């Protein structure tokens, strides 16, 4: 890997200030996964750094929660305009540190912009409910209240969109936050917080600490001063986060893995289904929790569809995401590439799956300095490891079925339940799929990826713990309902007792 001079050293952001680097601080590298270039160094935060961030958030909470919701929304609107003005700059920086193609990183920044706009609007619609009382001269209503200090632990695959899903609704609800981003995408987190700082967020309301999940993430999760943890990552780590939160009675939102499937029925528009499969399986180099890692195809169109899929996968242009001709970039790190290759070997040796294309690292010529992997298609069956475990790379498995009912059974035969899609022209099948797919997100004649910010995002089974991100559902994560009773009768009234 190239050892060119770094451009910058990053810093934590605590209590409204970018912190000076602690003497002899541990640092971690931020590298371009396409070229190996060292982009920057960031602090691997210590316990005292985390303590300062939590203390700052705790102190700021008492004043921030009292700012009118509409005014908090106006700050989000200012942040939106700042992100919008810098979209291209932020997208290019994201491609350099994360690898996905420029059109996708533009979309990542746009999602943060859209989320800011959406929740800024919710500042004028922060609705509770008014309702009747069973007693005379008594008024009842509900209002949303903030939770407190929120620890937000975010991944590298959507390094601006996913933090926006958490930070914007958390702030709108009156909470203060400590963000711990992935060490693989620190620049994007810094740029995001810079926009909030410029928008006028008060000191201590937003804090940013860098470091590893096994240290910084654990400290945040275990600290009793933190009232809520919102985590996006693997199901294995999410289960640990949930267990730690339970010990200190924290509110906990988990958005975890997926093993998503696209069904292609015999009456499908095959060209449309093919485009959906390619985008769903290889978009973001397969590094999405909603990626199409399983393709369930009716036997009548199986050969035609599979042959076309393999041919198109072989023609995908792999390279640096900054190149406008590139269709698929590198994996985010060497560790991630090794993980993908390990699963490919499992597919070949343990599962005895048939490899149709790919299955190899790309490490020569223009790919020599990066973490590239060939788009990979297996043919196999639902019981195989590669059909059951999340790979998080450009690998998909095609499986043949004889009927719609069998397709739905195969789709549901997984520990996960995030996203699913079906391609068919039959409205009866469409309605049954909506009813019977065990997924939090269902697409009809569209790939398994492509969520929009005003709809709830999340899944069932090992994918989540019942919460949803995005849309108004996110307000239920970052606020607590308070029931209010106002008795103006001037006498004691007893619910369920008087007049019964």
Active-site residues, by number, are 255, 289
Q: What is the DSSP letter of 360?
A: S
CA–CA separation, 173 and 474 (whole Å):
10
Length of the chain: 500
| CA 157 to chain CA centroid, nearest Å | 8
Nearest by Cα to 189 from 320, 11, 27, 451: 11
What number of other Cβ atoms are within 10 A of residue 366's Cβ? 13
Rounded (10°) CA dihedral 201, 206, 211, 212:
-140
Token pair of 148 as six digits: 């407190």
CA–CA separation, 98 and 65 (whole Å):
35
CA–CA separation, 313 and 294 (whole Å):
15
CA–CA separation, 52 and 457 (whole Å):
32
CA–CA separation, 409 and 493 (whole Å):
55
Q: Which residue has the tokens 């859209």?
A: 114
* β-pairing verdict for 376-379 and 354-357: antiparallel
Rounded (10°) CA dihedral 229, 231, 237, 242:
40
Sign for the pseudo-dihedral over CA of 95, 177, 228, 83 = negative
CA distances (Å), origin 244, targets 130, 217, 224? 36, 11, 11
CA–CA separation, 175 and 387 (whole Å):
40
């Amino acid at each position: 890997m190239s050892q060119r001079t770094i451009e910058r050293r990053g810093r934590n952001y605590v209590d409204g200030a970018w912190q000076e680097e602690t003497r002899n601080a541990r640092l971690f590298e931020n590298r371009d996964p396409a070229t190996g270039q060292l982009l920057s160094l960031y602090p691997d935060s210590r316990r005292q750094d985390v303590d300062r961030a939590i203390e700052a958030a705790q102190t700021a909470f008492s004043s921030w929660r009292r700012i009118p919701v509409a005014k908090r929304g106006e700050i989000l609107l200012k942040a939106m305009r700042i992100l919008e003005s810098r979209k291209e700059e932020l997208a290019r920086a994201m491609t350099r540190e994360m690898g996905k193609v420029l059109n996708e990183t533009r979309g990542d920044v746009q999602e943060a912009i859209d989320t800011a706009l959406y929740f800024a609007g919710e500042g004028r619609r922060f609705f509770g409910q008014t309702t009747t009382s069973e007693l005379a001269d008594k008024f009842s209503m509900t209002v949303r209240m903030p939770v407190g200090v929120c620890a937000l632990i975010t991944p590298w695959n959507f390094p601006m969109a996913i933090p926006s899903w958490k930070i914007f609704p958390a702030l709108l609800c009156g909470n203060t936050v400590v963000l711990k981003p992935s060490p693989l995408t620190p620049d994007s987190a810094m740029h995001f917080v810079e926009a909030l700082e410029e928008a006028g967020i008060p000191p201590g309301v937003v804090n940013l600490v860098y470091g590893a999940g096994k240290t910084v993430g654990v400290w945040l999760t275990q600290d009793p001063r933190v009232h809520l943890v919102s985590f996006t990552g693997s199901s294995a780590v999410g289960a640990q986060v949930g267990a730690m939160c339970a010990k200190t009675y924290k509110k906990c939102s988990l958005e975890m893995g997926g093993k998503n499937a696209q069904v292609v029925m015999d009456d499908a528009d095959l060209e449309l289904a093919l485009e959906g499969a390619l985008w769903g399986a290889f978009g973001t180099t397969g590094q999405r929790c909603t990626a199409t890692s399983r393709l369930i195809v009716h036997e009548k169109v199986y050969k035609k569809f599979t042959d076309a899929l393999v041919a198109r996968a072989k023609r995908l242009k792999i390279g640096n995401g900054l190149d406008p001709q590139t269709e698929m970039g590198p994996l985010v790190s060497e560790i991630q590439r090794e993980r993908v290759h390990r699963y490919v070997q499992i597919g070949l040796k343990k599962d005895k799956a048939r490899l149709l294309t790919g299955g190899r690292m790309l490490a020569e010529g223009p790919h020599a300095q990066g973490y590239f992997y060939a788009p990979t298609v297996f043919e196999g069956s639902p019981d195989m490891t590669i059909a059951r475990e999340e790979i998080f790379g450009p690998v998909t498995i095609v499986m043949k079925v004889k009927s719609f009912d069998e397709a739905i059974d195969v789709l549901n035969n997984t520990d996960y339940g995030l996203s699913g899609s079906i391609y068919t022209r039959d409205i009866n099948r469409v309605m049954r799929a909506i009813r019977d797919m065990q997924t939090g997100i269902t697409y009809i004649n569209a790939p398994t990826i492509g969520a929009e910010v005003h709809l709830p995002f999340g899944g069932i089974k090992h994918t989540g713990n019942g919460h949803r991100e995005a849309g108004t559902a996110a307000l239920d994560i970052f606020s607590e309902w308070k029931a209010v009773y106002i008795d103006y009768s001037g006498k004691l009234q007893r619910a369920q007792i008087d007049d019964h």
